Structure 1
């Protein structure tokens, strides 16, 4: 492990929590150089919804590489890209009545957010963006300006401007949408009319805060009435994580733009897109650029993901069952240990449990790791234990992970509370 301490920057973070050498991965399992196996309840922070080395995706990728398929193609036409666009239209957009053009950005979520914000400003001629408390949108300058987390913001080293922050649903019992609407209609409120509203329907890093369908419908109506574009950041919450392919589907709204990354590539390969209403597509060629916006290997596995898991509703049914199982365990532990837990958070398999403080959640995550499971925390003070296993996990594997969690809770309670009493 010396090479990492010697050569790698201190900016690394996940390796600090999980200080082992991983060498192999399959499904929802990680294996170290010492042969130790860990259940993966992190799943690449939502990049591995279909598990590690999914055999269907792997076979398609191997066959594509074997025939010398295009790897890097900038934004040139390729059969892999054509097949992805066809699958996206057939399995995702058309069945949901969505009419979007597809912009391939640099292969990271934050780049997709940057592109969406840039386009919103170009279309409207306005510079201001509205974002929400506890939102997380990335660490490049524009996306970071819209991010609420102070830990990430302080890494910028410069002013982060042109963003107005509005309370998310449930934040400090403030009706953020009423405030937003009032300020839009008050000439002395000091709010410049924004180009767009950027939001996550379920806030991932912000603590698994969920916007209700009613709240989302109110927001969509406000945006339409005021000629403001609505951008849904579905980078972490999309691709089935909340139970449906897009997190906003249950609300019945149609955003002007949607950003996708993480699991859109299927295999964990870097890929990001912006879905945008056709009338917004006023880009000039190359105006938003990126050398790696043509990751054809990701197109291959992304296509297989859509064909395999979104041509029917079997995955959605499985996600609902898994969510219910996780919820049952969370509720049992909330009732059993009110001294540890506050409430359940999230939706679908973007779900977790809030502890009274970050020390408790950290202790639980550490105890899980000591007993063979990788799991992380989220929230302003890392107070939420976040269950983020692959969506393809089997019931037996899920139960094994939930058992590790419950045993971790009991060990933390024994150390922290029984000693004190």
Structure 2
């Protein structure tokens, strides 16, 4: 074993994860490519689990960041006012919120996805005076206690070591079967005072469940969920930590449904460059915090503000969003072709935008695809409760050449997996 990997095995906690899936030492990254210490070049279709939507070391962001550091820009300031913070808020208002007719207060919690979820749950409970939160099967919202309580994965929930209370899990869209509207079930629980379910403070959901298996809610399901929340005075929270910032084809993943959540959680790629940043968007009438009632030492990450502001420049051009949607259609067509071309994998396409994958009914198949992809020098991961989905997360600004190169490797990896698991149809059998 490589000596550096031996050192990691010796010193790093057993909780480490991705270094096990990608056992090499990376030294350099740019755009959709990474290089290891042996000089091997990898195609990155992982994008930091959605934290690198613009790829690695995007040149304009890098220049802004380096200039800011060299000019002794303020690195740490809690939530004091800085030029970097004001510039981000102004650009986010003008480029993102105003064109979408959105009126929200911008809250800066701690700089991670689980921090923004915690703040969303707290403000919903504070403003409604209720305690319960409704979440959905296969949802993933973070690893701190509040966020974990609304997460579906049983392995991750067990890691809490304590009961996770004051939450109710309802079936996500198509969780039962395609023909069943799971919101009938949810609404019945609200209507019947014998159901044992109190009126919740909030409902939290992902429009596309990233870790849960690339499950995409339908437009109609999202619209009905919003109507139910309005009818019952329930705070509607959209967790857009992974599906947002262009990943599904529009800046916010819920835009195609035309809904207006009460609270929106953003992190991962909102920082643009992979630097930690999270924001919680709260409708003004709900923004009734006392000063300092929810805070955090690193809620004012000025270097992330700098790169986040530059990242929003992409969204000034309508053609950028159009280009994501065109690439999304390319991926969709490719995956559907793979499903038809290789029926042996018993797969079906899932997701939308540049957040798509194939779910296989064959145990271990998707993990084999990801394993063979790494052997062919492409980085991708699996999702779902049984890792049954191999998913594609290329940078949203990837060029056509990079996208096609990755798709070609994926097809070869599917072939490798079929062969290594003895699933490939033999020519002699025909």
The two structures have a TM-score, normalised by structure 2, of 0.96
How far off is 1:342 after superposition? 2.3
Q: Distance in 2 between matches of 1:253 and 1:293?
A: 28
Verify the 8 A CA contact 2:345 2:423 in the aligned structure 1.
no
Verify the 8 A CA contact 1:27 1:53 in the aligned structure 2.
yes
Equivalent residue for 1:118? Answer: 122
Runs (5+) with no aligned partner, structure 1: none
Q: Distance in 1 between matches of 2:417 and 2:356?
A: 21
Equivalent residue for 1:264? Answer: 270
Question: In structure 2, which of residues 77, 81, 87 is the aligned counterpart of residue 73 of structure 1?
Answer: 77
Q: Distance in 1 between matches of 2:231 and 2:80?
A: 39
Aligned length: 420
Equivalent residue for 2:256? Answer: 250
Q: CA RMSD in A?
A: 1.1
Verify the 8 A CA contact 2:357 2:391 in the aligned structure 1.
yes
- Is the partner of 1:24 in helix, strand or coil? strand
Verify the 8 A CA contact 1:341 1:353 in the aligned structure 2.
no
Counting only pairs closer than 5 Å after superposition, residues 284-323 of structure 1 correspond to structure 2 as 284-307=290-313, 309-323=314-328
Q: Distance in 2 between matches of 1:176 and 1:157?
A: 30
Question: In structure 2, which of residues 408, 416, 419 is the aligned counterpart of residue 414 of structure 1?
Answer: 419
Question: In structure 1, which of residues 352, 355, 360 is the aligned counterpart of residue 360 of structure 2?
Answer: 355
Equivalent residue for 2:383? Answer: 378
Q: Distance in 2 between matches of 1:396 and 1:265?
A: 26
Counting only pairs closer than 5 Å after superposition, residues 200-349 of structure 1 correspond to structure 2 as 200-307=206-313, 309-349=314-354
How far off is 1:351 after superposition? 0.8
Q: Distance in 2 between matches of 1:180 and 1:327?
A: 31
Q: Distance in 2 between matches of 1:419 and 1:267?
A: 44
Q: Distance in 2 between matches of 1:418 and 1:357?
A: 13
Q: Distance in 1 between matches of 2:172 and 2:90?
A: 36
Q: Distance in 2 between matches of 1:4 and 1:284?
A: 44
Residue deviations 1:17-71 (CA, integer Å, cap 9, x gap)? 0000001000000110110110000000000000100000000011111110010
How far off is 1:176 after superposition? 2.0
Verify the 8 A CA contact 2:176 2:182 in the aligned structure 1.
no
Equivalent residue for 2:410? Answer: 405
Equivalent residue for 1:139? Answer: 143
- Is the partner of 1:417 in helix, strand or coil? coil
**1:302 and 1:418, CA in 2 relative to 1: closer, same or farther beyond 3 A?**
closer
Q: Distance in 2 between matches of 1:283 and 1:411?
A: 55
**1:304 and 1:222, CA in 2 relative to 1: closer, same or farther beyond 3 A?**
same
- Is the partner of 1:113 in helix, strand or coil? helix
- Is the partner of 1:344 in helix, strand or coil? strand
How far off is 1:357 after superposition? 3.1
Equivalent residue for 1:14? Answer: 18
Verify the 8 A CA contact 1:358 1:384 in the aligned structure 2.
no
Counting only pairs closer than 5 Å after superposition, residues 83-162 of structure 1 correspond to structure 2 as 83-162=87-166
The two structures have a TM-score, normalised by structure 1, of 0.98
How far off is 1:312 after superposition? 1.6
- Is the partner of 2:106 in helix, strand or coil? strand
